[in-house]
Amino acid sequence: MKQIATVERILDTDYAEISVPRKSACGHDCEECAGCGVTGTAVHARAVNPIGAQPGQKVVVESSTQKMLRIVALVYLIPVVLFLTGYVCMALLSFSTVVQYTAAVLGFMVGIVIAVLYDRRLRRQGGLTFTIVKLF
């Protein structure tokens, strides 16, 4: 996955801190919507800097698409799948509606816990890695 980022500072000879604008589903046409109130937030990350980019420069960065898809699946799909699994299993076993909803909510919360634990593990291992590939 390629994105445009800004070099914030040089960390050492091989790494730089970059600022990557956070992507969202809205497209930020605020004159049309004015619904969310989100301003251009950015994610700060560490990036390999093989081209020697300097602070303030706009650069193209590349990250592992496979790792990004794994993160998206954990954050969005696992809680929903566990929610539906809890609900359907209790419905098939003919439990009351209250038990079905309780199992669904518990499944969702387990999914959230899994996502948080994975996020912590990913941060300990260095998180999502970016590589600066060229100047923008």
Q: Which two tokens stand for residue 94?
A: 């003919």
The pLDDT score that the predictor gives to residue 87 is 94
SS (H, E, C) 85-118: HHHHHHHHCCCCHHHHHHHHHHHHHHHHHHHHHH
Q: Point out which residues pair with 48 in neighbouring strands.
A: 15, 131
For 17-64, the pLDDT digits (tens) are: 998 887 655 555 555 555 555 555 777 888 889 998 899 999 999 877
Q: Position 51: which residue type?
A: I
The pLDDT score that the predictor gives to residue 94 is 87
The pLDDT score that the predictor gives to residue 108 is 95
The C-alpha angle 60, 74, 89, rounded to 5 degrees, equals: 160
Q: Position 95: which residue type?
A: F
Helix, strand or coil, per DSSP, at residue 133: strand
Q: Which residues are CB-contacts of 75 (< 8 A; sequence separation ≥ 6)? A: 115
Q: Is the dihedral of CA 49, 54, 55, 56 positive or negative?
A: negative
Q: Which residues are CB-contacts of 57 (< 8 A; sequence separation ≥ 6)? A: 6, 7, 135, 136
Distance of CA 118 to the CA centre of its chain: 12
For 80-105, the pLDDT digits (tens) are: 999 999 999 999 998 899 999 999 99
